[in-house]
């Protein structure tokens, strides 16, 4: 591996691009999935399925946010660096065998206890005997997905440790492919099997989980990790990995609690507040989930590699590169989504009963959320540094601080700002979480050398402001109160495209190194 900063920056950008492309493919197929399912099944049937899928899907979200990779990649990297490839392969076999045994027990408990579990989050279904029995049946059918998803997540972690990102990035899209195929192909056969039609989606979930695992096996073999799973309860490395996993689950649980709390508080506000906040959150998750999470995922293996060797200075250099790249993407996203809040909401949602008032209220929440995209993106870049250092507890403490600040700001502002106050609280809490993480990281590893990050962020901010002037000049011609018209859609596309070009040109003129890193990674990809 090259030790040159520019080389590592380009590598992270290239890997992040792969992860972002896979995420985009999954999001597009997810939209198709939703449309196909909505057209194929009655609302009551899909209510039953999505409620039955709640617990397995929650695990999918947690694993997809990097809990397994965050706990597993640093340990696997350390074993490979210090004990060699064969020891790493044996460790992976023992970890996967132990994890699969535990997940099998969870699946068995879930199948047996399905009625009680469904009662926890769908007790209202008891009034409809048919709906209740269907939901319990579906819950029992989909619980084995947890085992398949766990195996797929372990394969993803091993491939990330080997710096192989293509298969793990695109494998999640196969779940949506399976759902689409099940709705179109399996639905007519369910009656012959004595099952409700919506059971086709349960089969789709199981096939999708299996496909996610199988799609990664060839890459896993090439990486040298494919082996028969074995039990390893006494293996100290396996115990270490599980010890790191628990705090990660707690930390992600705190984040989910934040989401639940925001919706709970919104329920005390005027009608529509929950939906306005939900739609705004979905929009900011595009840059946050697609790009920021991709950069953190791409940086983790290299951070873990340097940390395992005790090369903290090189790890800090990679950390700075990743943070600069994250801000390079997040700062223009902050400006663009803030300035184009109303146009974006109008084009994406402004039809049918989503009227002018709904557009304005959702855009108001989006402006506040967009203002802190940089903070959320930075958090998702800083946390992998802790994981690489073997510290999974500090991020949990920072998440707890996030939750406390969220409640304080939300309760102080929701009366005057309504749902926009909740959006503001989410953003301020993320900023506090970021500065808490930076403070704890500095105490752990010493000076971080963030001056270069500040200079890069200043250049990115300047370029983003120039971009903002350009997109405002275009957006002023829109008739956004009319919602999703062809003219508005084309104009928004022109504004976004122009903004991207202007931002890159302005960033290059201001001397941004990230433009060069992105361009170099694209040129290397073309030569392959």
pLDDT digits over 441-456, tens only?
Answer: 999 988 888 999 999 9
297 Cβ contact partners less than 8 Å away, ≥ 6 residues apart: 15, 16, 19, 66, 69, 160, 165, 384
**Which pLDDT belongs to residue 423?**
93
For 9, 122, 230, 309, 377, the CA distances from 29, given in Å and listed in that order, are 30, 28, 35, 41, 24
Q: Which residues are within 8 A (CB) of 469 and not within 5 positions of it... i.e. 6 or more apart? A: none
Which regions in the chain score pLDDT beneath 70?
A: 1-10, 43, 58-67, 121-124, 250-257, 259-260, 263, 517-528
The pLDDT, as a whole number, for residue 495 is 96
According to DSSP, residue 292 is labeled I
Alpha-carbon dihedral angle through residues 315, 316, 318, 324, given to the nearest 10 degrees: 160
Contact (Cβ atoms closer than 8 angstroms) between residue 312 and residue 306: yes
Q: What is the pLDDT of residue 260?
A: 64
User: What pLDDT was estimated at residue 349?
Assistant: 82
8 Å CB contact between 232 and 238: yes
Domain positions in the chain are 1-234, 246-447
Q: What per-residue confidence (pLDDT) applies to 61?
A: 65
Distance (Å, whole) CA 371 – CA 259: 18
């Amino acid at each position: 591996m090259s030790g040159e900063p520019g080389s590592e920056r380009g590598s992270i950008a290239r890997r992040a691009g792969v992860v972002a492309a896979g995420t985009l493919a999954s999001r597009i197929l997810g939209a198709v999935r939703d449309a196909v399912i909505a057209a194929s099944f009655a609302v009551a049937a899909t209510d039953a399925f999505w409620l039955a899928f709640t617990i397995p899907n929650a695990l999918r979200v947690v694993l997809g946010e990097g809990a397994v990779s965050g706990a597993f990649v640093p340990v696997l990297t350390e074993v490979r660096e210090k004990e060699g490839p064969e020891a790493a392969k044996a460790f992976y076999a023992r970890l996967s065998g132990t994890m699969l045994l535990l997940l099998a027990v969870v699946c068995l408990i879930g199948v047996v206890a399905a009625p009680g579990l469904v009662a926890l989050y769908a007790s209202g279904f008891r009034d409809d005997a048919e709906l209740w029995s269907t939901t319990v049946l579906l819950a029992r059918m989909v619980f084995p997905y947890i085992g398949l998803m766990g195996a797929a997540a372990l394969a993803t972690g091993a491939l990330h440790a080997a710096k192989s990102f293509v298969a793990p990035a695109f494998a999640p899209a196969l779940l949506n492919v399976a759902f689409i195929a099940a709705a179109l192909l399996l639905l007519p056969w369910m009656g012959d099997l004595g099952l409700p039609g919506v059971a086709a989606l349960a089969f789709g979930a199981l096939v999708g989980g299996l496909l996610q695992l199988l799609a990664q096996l060839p890459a896993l073999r090439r990486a040298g990790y494919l082996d028969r799973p074995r039990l390893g309860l006494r293996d100290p490395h396996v115990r270490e990995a599980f010890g790191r996993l628990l705090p990660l689950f707690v930390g992600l649980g705190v984040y989910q609690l934040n989401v639940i709390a925001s919706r709970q508080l919104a329920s005390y506000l005027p009608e529509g507040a929950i939906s306005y906040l939900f739609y705004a959150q979905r929009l900011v998750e595009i840059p946050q989930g697609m790009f920021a999470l991709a950069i953190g995922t791409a940086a983790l293996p290299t951070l873990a590699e340097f940390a395992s060797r005790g090369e903290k200075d090189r790890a800090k250099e990679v950390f700075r590169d990743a943070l600069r790249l994250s801000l390079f993407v997040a700062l223009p996203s902050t400006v663009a989504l803030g300035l184009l809040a109303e146009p974006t909401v109008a084009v994406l949602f402004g039809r049918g009963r989503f009227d002018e008032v709904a557009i304005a209220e959702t855009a108001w929440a989006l402006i506040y959320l967009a203002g802190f995209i940089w903070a959320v993106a930075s958090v998702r870049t800083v946390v992998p540094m802790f994981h690489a250092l073997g510290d999974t507890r500090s991020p949990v403490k920072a998440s707890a601080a996030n939750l406390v600040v969220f409640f304080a700001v939300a309760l102080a502002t929701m009366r005057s700002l309504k749902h926009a106050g909740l959006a503001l609280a989410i953003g301020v809490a993320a900023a506090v979480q970021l500065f808490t993480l930076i403070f704890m990281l500095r105490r752990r590893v010493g000076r971080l050398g963030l001056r270069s990050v500040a200079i890069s962020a200043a250049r990115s901010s300047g370029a983003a402001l120039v971009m903002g002037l350009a997109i405002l000049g275009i957006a002023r011609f829109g008739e956004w109160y009319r919602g999703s018209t062809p003219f508005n859609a084309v104009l928004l596309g022109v504004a976004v495209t122009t903004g991207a070009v202007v931002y890159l040109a302005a960033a290059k003129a201001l001397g941004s190194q990230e433009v060069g890193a992105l361009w170099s990674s694209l040129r290397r990809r073309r030569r392959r």
